[in-house]
Chains A and B, each alone.
Chain A
Amino acid sequence: MADRVPTWEEVARDHGRFLYNVAYRLAGNDDDAQDLVQETLIRVRRGLERYEPGSLEGWLARIVTNVFLDEVRRRKRRPTDALPDDPGRVLPPAPAADEIPTGFSDEVQRALGELPDDFRVPVVLCDVSDLSYEQIAEATGVPIGTVRSRIHRGRRLLRASLLADGVSGP
């Protein structure tokens, strides 16, 4: 893999689940996550010739983040659209999880969804995508010091939100 550029089908097959998870944690629901993944793969297909072998998942995370932020901007321009975490929306059943959930994953996802995008994106890229601060800075286009600050503040906000929801651990 290091010696050649993968096809978009290989990306979808080998990294699709990674993409879906990042998309779901950013968007907060299955419908939007599906849209994000599909749009990301479309951009992957277009942009593969510009991909330089390296951290493929870092590159994918950058694309899915850009797709997500584009979508957020688009919805802000068209406020009649339901935003991803519209509380009045009837959510589809939670997607299947291979591992047993922690028991309060709904609350964690809700708390994530309540974070402002500037905080949610670096937290998801760090803790779901497992990207380095440098990769996150590259993906989001902000200085690494800002990434560090936003991750920390995002976590504190998340913790406060979980406590307010009665989740006192782990």
Chain B
Amino acid sequence: MSEQAHELVPEMLSAYLDDELDASTRDAVEARLAASPEWRAELAEVRAAREAVRGLPSLQAPDGFWDRVFTTVGAADDASLDDADTPPAAPTSLPARRSWRRASWLAVAAAIVIGVVAVIAVPHRSSVTPNVTAVVAQHGAQGSDAGDPVTMLAPVGPLAGFRR
């Protein structure tokens, strides 16, 4: 069916990206794109989404999955196939974050005396504002001497968190 019979609508932009338009409609869409910033913006929008999905990595099923499939699907007769099931995946074991070890109660008595004295005796200190950006850059510079320079320095380049 020719698209010429239809009014041009923005949803043709996805079909345009997917090469799903006939030649005359494609020309009409291109003409509209040349004239309309809104259409160009929408094209950029759907193109970005399309590329994001198409850029997803190709995944591999976990080890052992295909062995189970061949065993399960191959061994069962048709009548029982509906009930075939896959062994559940092992639950994820999240690493427990270590909690810091506290001092023993034995220190309590001494601390009551020494600690209070220490708090009172704390001298007035000057105010410090660390130059976080400089420390990050310095880390990248020194890290590049110790590791491969590109992946050490590339993240330093944007310094994005502090730049905007």
Contact = CB atoms under 8 A, between A and B. Distances in A.
Interface of A: 8-9, 12, 16-17, 20-21, 24-25, 30-31, 33-35, 37-38, 41-42, 45-46, 90-102, 104-105, 108-109, 111-112, 123-124, 126-128, 132-133, 148-149, 151-153, 155-156, 158-159, 162, 167, 169-170
23 contacts: A17-B60, A20-B60, A30-B61, A30-B62, A31-B89, A38-B68, A42-B82, A45-B73, A92-B91, A95-B62, A96-B62, A98-B57, A100-B57, A102-B55, A102-B56, A105-B56, A105-B57, A128-B54, A148-B15, A155-B45, A155-B50, A156-B42, A159-B45
Contact of B56 (A25, A31, A91): A25
Contact of B86 (A21, A34, A156): A34
B20 A128 contact: no
Interface stretch (B5-13, B32-40, B102-110, B136-144): B5-13
Given A20-B61, A96-B59, 6 more contacts: A42-B73, A133-B20, A148-B11, A153-B11, A158-B49, A162-B52
Interface of B: 10-15, 18, 20, 42, 45-46, 48-62, 65-66, 68-70, 72-74, 76, 78, 81-82, 84, 86, 88-92, 94
Contact of A170 (B51, B59, B65): B51
A102 B52 contact: yes
Chain A interface SS verdict (over half): helix
A162 B49 contact: yes
Contacts of A126: 18
B52 A152 contact: no
Contacts of A105: 55-57
A162 B46 CA distance: 12
Chain B interface SS verdict (over half): helix
A167 B48 CA distance: 11
4 residue pairs, one from A and one from B, having the closest CB atoms = A97-B57, A152-B14, A152-B11, A155-B49
A41 B14 CA distance: 32
Nearest to B11: A152
Contacts of A155: 14, 45-46, 49-50
Given A90-B92, A169-B48, A9 B86 contact: no
B73 A41 contact: yes
Contact of B11 (A93, A111, A149, A159): A149
A46 B74 contact: no
B25 to A, nearest CB: 11
Contacts of A151: 14-15, 18
B38 to A, nearest CB: 13
A104 B62 CA distance: 21
Contact of A9 (B12, B13, B70): B70
A97 B54 CA distance: 14
Contacts of B60: 17, 20, 95-98
The residue among B18, B42, B94 with the most chain A CB atoms within 10 A of its own CB is B18
The residue among A41, A90, A111 with the most chain B CB atoms within 10 A of its own CB is A41
